[in-house]
Amino acid sequence: MSWDSLLPRPVRVRPAAGVLELDADTTVGGEPTTAEWFRRYVGAATGLPLADAERPTIEFRVDSGESVPGGYRAHIRPDGVEVVAHDAAGAHHAAQTLRQLLGPSAYRSALIHYGRFLLPCGQVEDRPRFTWRGCHLDVARHFLPKREVLRFVELLAAHKLNVLHLHLTDDQGWRVEVPRFPELTRTGAWRRRSMVGRGPEPEFDSRPHGGFYTSDDLREIVAHAARHHITVVPEVDVPGHSQAAIAAYPELGTGGRPEVWDSWGVSDEVLNTDPATADFYRAVLDHLMEVFPSPVICVGGDEVPGSTPEHGAFLRELIQHVHVRGRRASGWDELLDAVDPLPPGTIIAAWRDEQAAARAAARGHDVVLCPETHFYLDHRQSDHPDEPVPVGFLTTLEKVYSYQPRPDVLGVQAQVWTEHLDTPRRLDYAAFPRLAAFAEVAWSEQRDLADFQRRLVGHHLPRLDAYGVEYRPLSGPHPWQTRPGVPGRPR
């Protein structure tokens, strides 16, 4: 594989003559988490032991004076590889670069041929453009089994992304076990049916849907993500998008006992603002902070029907509770309108428009750019009649890549909402290869669409093929990826 195959695009590459061949005598050492990761994943694909050694063939070294957080420099010679990274995360990014250079077979879980594994000689200097390079994953609308979340983490890391924003609760399901409140999962984790598509008249299947993660499941996800230098940011959305919680504990609502919602959109059910409700959610957040070591905890705050000053005060209480516990709260950009004053240190996920990002930055808040117009990967990818469940804005691969982030932000984040992504195969189709385009926006200062498309088609799609990702072909969906008869609602 050649140096011009890398994705996302590195800062600087200096190719040189020659190759390094990995063989049974190749050793790996240095920064321990990276060496262990390389040995486990690349070792499985190559069938090589890649043993530890005092003077390893491939050495990952950490030097905080090198580059910036997440940055690294790698020098490949015929007799070995020297990586010098700012931190362990930078060493891991370097390891991902080496994996790409080994070719698509390095993305398989076992050795399938006995060819040579070669690294081209040369040097690469690389560093991330943004601190926060995130992907939001909605597991509330359609539950994603734990094994698939672990796989998704690995795919994020392969694209040098470093935040998984896990949307754990919504009107249609509550996915996180809270031992103190068992009805949240006993009642709130499943619904009796689901809306099919988004046509002018609602249509439903008759199939119950549900699932949740135990605390140990979530600890495993967090640990797996940490191995890949990804932070898992949990979200419990309040005071709207809360019908599943109200179905479990009706005293949290404003009257009646609804079922877990079976429709898409925004439910009219909202939390009340009684002191007991605030106490309930403080206890939920305490459990979340016990399970998730993330420095950031998301409280949502978006799309609240009939929002009142009392809702703003409720959100402020919960944000302050997170901050008192030594973490930072984040929320969607509606917080700018609902909570006045918004506690300092709150991170704003700006999804509605550029003005929201500008307002948040002007008020001194860190901003993560999440524009619906460019980074909502559940939105339709073409206007061809075969496009499955054509909802939302037309968001092509090229449109994702064309986004120009303002430079004064914490970072950028893609969103994968799952109302219409009811299986891991559908999630693959929606996320890839657009997430590869997003990854280059998040990582690379210098971008070129034609060059990206060349690298994507010639080198990166074969990597996704080897990994088993059922991405959308650039020419349109395979027949089995279509959803005939399932209407959407294009915008």
**Contact by Cβ (8 Å): 297, 321:** no
Four-CA torsion 20, 25, 26, 31, nearest 10 degrees = -160
Residue 307: what are its φ and ψ, rounded to 5°? -55, 140
Strand partners, 137: 166, 416
Name the amino acid, one letter, at 161: L
Of 36, 125, 154, 303, catalytic: 303
Smallest CA-to-CA distance from 170 within 146, 189, 195 is with 189
User: What's the rounded Cα separation, in Å, for the pair 84 and 96?
Assistant: 14
User: What's the rounded Cα separation, in Å, for the pair 426 and 481?
Assistant: 8
Smallest CA-to-CA distance from 397 within 433, 351, 450 is with 433
Whether the bond into 239 is cis, omega within 30 of 0: yes
User: What's the rounded Cα separation, in Å, for the pair 327 and 339?
Assistant: 18
User: What's the rounded Cα separation, in Å, for the pair 399 and 174?
Assistant: 33
CA angle 117, 118, 124 (to 5 degrees): 135
- β 132-138/28-30 pair status: unpaired
**Contact by Cβ (8 Å): 190, 173:** yes
Query: In which region does residue 465 sit, left (phi positive, over 0), alpha (psi from -120 to 50) or beta (all else)?
Result: alpha
- β 12-22/58-62 pair status: unpaired
**Contact by Cβ (8 Å): 347, 329:** yes
Q: Which residues touch 393 (CB under 8 Å, ≥6 apart)?
A: 372, 373, 376, 379, 380, 491
User: What's the rounded Cα separation, in Å, for the pair 5 and 419?
Assistant: 35
Does 290 participate in catalysis according to the annotation?
A: no
Give residue for tokens 């300092």: 344
User: What's the rounded Cα separation, in Å, for the pair 373 and 399?
Assistant: 9
**Contact by Cβ (8 Å): 240, 232:** no
**Contact by Cβ (8 Å): 443, 404:** no
**Contact by Cβ (8 Å): 311, 304:** yes
Q: What token pair was written down for 403?
A: 């986004």
Question: Which residues form the catalytic set?
Answer: 303
